[in-house]
Amino acid sequence: MLAAARELQIPLLAVLLLGGCAVKAWRVLRSRSIKPALDPAGLFPLRLHRPIMMAMCATEFGLGLGLIATAGRTGTNVPATIVRTACVLFFLIAMGALNETRQRRPAAGCGCFGDFSDTPIGWRTIARAGVLCAAAAVTIGLPPLRMPSSSTTAEMWLAVLAFELSLIAFFSPELGEILVRLGYSEPCELRRLPVERTMAALHASSPWRRYARQISGAAPIDVWREGCWRFVVYAGVARGRRVDIVFAVYLQSRRPVIRAAVLDAATDEVLGLAETREFTAIR
């Protein structure tokens, strides 16, 4: 049982280290800037944030790969011991840094798993680093890993894995954040929606077909947004009068409500209204 638990730590630590590095890199790539990933370097002077962050990411990547590379028969004892000791040191330093950050910047998140780690550092985050430090410590001196020799051993591996994942999940504030985000849908007034999609929805709508013949210019004369609505204005001519044709497009991905109005360009008199379908909630 104890041997199975020890053997399990190596792949688990490797996955966590590589995962942490990947999530940070993904955050940087997504925002096209390293700035959002600088949380863990918050204790240091501003000019050191970038190099420290890069060093931390490289360390996680290196240790994760090192654990995998030295786990099997190819790894000799010395490299494996060096990598595993480095892991212990890494998590030990992380514990100290998290504790220090918690005291100096109580509102800061640890940034351990990118966007998901924005929750202020608490005892759970520090305890998680402690658990991982202990997990790394028990791998020192472990012989090369092998596949489970029997189904009983495999079941024991799975049981230990389930227990340890539960423990890490309990110590991870990120889990709550992930669950919230999985079920979260941003309200329409906060959602970024490209103008191109609004125009595509408008051009496929019946109000557009209804007024298209009256529109005199290829390009809109104004486009703007207020809350959940985007407004598009075209110049046109109706019954010999210069008119402005206003379309209001509700900002939702599928089948948006579209309304239209025609105003006399000189007097602002409303000459006509149209909409695609009834709706109840507008903001």
Q: Would you tell me which residues interact with other proteins (CB under 8 A)?
A: 31, 33, 35-36, 38-39, 42, 46, 105, 107-108, 118, 180-181, 184, 186-187, 189-190, 192-196, 217-229, 231, 233, 235, 244, 246-248, 259-261, 263, 267-270, 273, 282-283
Show Cβ contacts of residue 275 under 8 Å, excluding neighbours closer than 6 positions: 207, 257, 258, 259, 260
CB of 23 to other proteins, least distance (A): 15
Cβ pair 87, 136 in contact under 8 A: yes
CB closer to other proteins out of 36 and 62: 36
Q: Which of 271, 223, 231 is nearest to 250 (CA)?
A: 231
Residue in the structure block whose two tokens are 């379309």:
247
Q: Is the dihedral of CA 36, 48, 136, 15 positive or negative?
A: positive
Residues recorded for the chain: 283
CB of 90 to other proteins, least distance (A): 24
Q: Is 151 exposed, middle or buried (0-12, 13-18, 19+ CB in 10 A)?
A: exposed
CB closer to other proteins out of 210 and 283: 283
CB of 103 to other proteins, least distance (A): 13
CB closer to other proteins out of 43 and 137: 43
Cβ pair 234, 207 in contact under 8 A: no
CB of 8 to other proteins, least distance (A): 34
CB closer to other proteins out of 90 and 116: 116
CB closer to other proteins out of 156 and 225: 225
CB closer to other proteins out of 82 and 179: 179
* Token duo for residue 169: 């999940």
CB of 184 to other proteins, least distance (A): 6
Cβ pair 6, 142 in contact under 8 A: yes
CB of 38 to other proteins, least distance (A): 6
